[in-house]
Amino acid sequence: MTEQAPQPAVTGHACIQSYLRTLDSSPGVYRMLDGESRVLYVGKARNLRARVSSYARPTGHTGRIARMISETTRMMFLTTRTETEALLLEQNLIKQLKPKYNVLLRDDKSFPNILLAKDHPFPKITKHRGARKQKGSYFGPFASASAVNRTLNQLQKAFLLRNCSDSMYDSRTRPCLLYQIKRCSAPCVGQISPEDYAESVRDAELFLSGRSTRVQEELAEQMAAASQALEFERAAGLRDRIRALTQVQTSQGINPRGVAEADVIALYMDGGQACVQVFFIRANQNWGNRDFYPRVGPDVSTAEAMEAFLGQFYDNKEPPRQLLLSDAIENADLMTEALSRKAGRKVEILVPQRGEKAELISGAMRNARESLARKMSENATQAKLLQGLADAFGLDQPPQRIEVYDNSHIQGTNAVGAMIVAGPEGFEKNSYRKFNIKGDDLVPGDDFGMMKEVLSRRFSRLTREDPDRSKGRWPDLLLIDGGAGQVSAVAEIMRAHGVSDIPMVGVAKGEDRDAGKEEFHRLGQRPFALRHNDPVLYFVQRLRDEAHRFAIGTHRAKRSKAIGATPLDDVPGVGATRKRALLAHFGSAKAVSRANLADLKAVDGISDTLAETIYDYFHDRG
């Protein structure tokens, strides 16, 4: 990486001009930075000198680019061997640095798949998210977890494949409930032969690969044969399986005949905002759709927005064989090469104008247009609520980041703190945080002490990681569950961290702890209430209830984990597999702790050395 810093006083066009003499025609990536070293923009270039020289011209720029140039005080460059490498590096840096003037995809979650795991003699079918490391066949992506769950539910009825863990499978001595309700063929206890189970696995793979007609025809033939043989119970079971497969196809909506594997991507822009609708077509079946709202500006072209979306969206996802786009991109050949390299096979980028593919684009565009209209309406309502919040609490301007805190515990046990975040676009669930209360000196049930610990950890990290408040992580308003005491405790923490400009409000239940009678507490001021039917009051109630829901859920998860814990969890060298072996052999953790050395050595998978470690742990700790 090369970096040449001009004089600090030089900014804008003059600053950019000063770099031209050091650049050549190599491909690469450039970064524009402001006076505080914040990245304003990341771009790629086939020819770095030519691209940078275009910014050195004083005229001919859109408003967004002109503002970016005027704020630039420094540039950084990284050359690459090819423009394809520059494209990949550009998208990585955009996702990592989130520059102010780039088109930015804000929602970047992974998508779930269906996995037929084949690392066991009797494969299981299950939902899978993340890297494809486990041996088996993967089918997806599906647009949402609910879409996967609906499909799995019907596939269990149709093919009776197991979905239990291997450890549960190995421990069964009689069929589970799923067998009783005809969702599993119970291979764990020999209710189906390995050959018949393998046939069901094959049928499931055929169906998920798009050859559903063949599977249904075979099942129909078997049903007819069973009826003729007067095996009416078996015929009814086959009928139910055919019905389940039909239900999967019905729930998938439009299933194109001429498109086997593609992502249908439609972009609609209006008023400086954008919605991208993505439909996932796999095995000639529609596996759902998702909408995205990338950050754009009023002068961003559809070609630029679409290209930025594709680069960031497929940065951590495997692209399908075809991408059907509503709008062409400028560097289609470059994007095709980059995605083909990522997939390890040819990827086509098409902008269909007629036929079935164009109809798919038209449907996706309609969804994008309607989704953006709803989103803009919701944002307008949210903006009014934030302005009302500012008026009610005497804030200088509507808050852009509200942090709401709550605690949850049962008589001080399994105590957790929770933080939720809300802003102009509603709840920002990616920013939620949970805190395991660590204070050993806290009195059980000390809500003040818990809140102090949570806020202290939160602002210590903020001060350390974002001292100049440039990354958008600092709140504009704190809402605390509690009254004057909690507000005073929070103020003490804030003063300890040198923070005095963030307003905070305590939300107390008020008289009879009745919703609608909340009192609001601010430091050094008298408590007050809002009108019973005030929309701002309902808004604050929703914020508080969301924080409470998140805190309760976190507490329950921690409590459930604690219930399943045993002293064996702390023994060095004893993982989940050996823990199961010990419990299966002795019956309980207490029995393990009382076992002699010879008995420990007799357990399968427990070596002599580990047996001595376990024995010493329970007998020589003092």
- Using one digit for the tens of pLDDT, what is the confidence trace for 203-222? 888 878 766 556 666 667 77
Tell me the chain's radius of gyration from C-alpha atoms. Answer: 30
What confidence tens digit (pLDDT) does each residue in 236-279 have?
Answer: 766 766 666 666 555 444 567 788 889 999 999 998 899 999 99
What confidence tens digit (pLDDT) does each residue in 346-405 have?
Answer: 999 999 999 999 999 999 999 999 999 888 888 888 999 999 999 999 899 999 999 998
Return the pLDDT at 6. Answer: 46
- 416 or 220: whose pLDDT is higher? 416
CB 437 within 8 A of CB 455: no
**Residue 51 clears pLDDT 70, i.e. is over it:** yes
CB 474 within 8 A of CB 502: yes
The residue among 61, 11, 1 whose CA lies nearest residue 36 is: 11
The whole-chain average pLDDT of the chain stands at: 84
What confidence tens digit (pLDDT) does each residue in 63-120 have?
Answer: 889 999 999 999 999 999 999 899 989 988 998 888 989 998 877 677 888 899 988 8
pTM: predicted TM-score of the whole model, two decimal places: 0.71
- 343 or 150: whose pLDDT is higher? 343
Report the percentage of the chain scoring pLDDT > 70: 88
- Greatest mean pLDDT range, 105-109, 334-338, 561-565: 334-338
How far is the C-alpha of 233 from the C-alpha of 231, rounded, in Å?
Answer: 6
Mean pLDDT, rounded, for 309-321: 90
**Residue 445 clears pLDDT 50, i.e. is over it:** yes
The residue among 476, 477, 482 whose CA lies nearest residue 519 is: 482
List of domains in the chain: 12-97 (3.40.1440.10), 113-251 (no CATH), 261-373 (3.30.420.10), 402-562 (3.30.420.340), 567-619 (1.10.150.20)
Mean pLDDT, rounded, for 151-171: 83
How far is the C-alpha of 541 from the C-alpha of 517, rounded, in Å?
Answer: 11
**Residue 146 clears pLDDT 90, i.e. is over it:** no
pLDDT category of residue 621 using cuts at 50, 70 and 90:
very low
Mean pLDDT, rounded, for 145-174: 83
How far is the C-alpha of 564 from the C-alpha of 513, rounded, in Å?
Answer: 35
**Residue 412 clears pLDDT 60, i.e. is over it:** no
pLDDT category of residue 581 using cuts at 50, 70 and 90:
confident
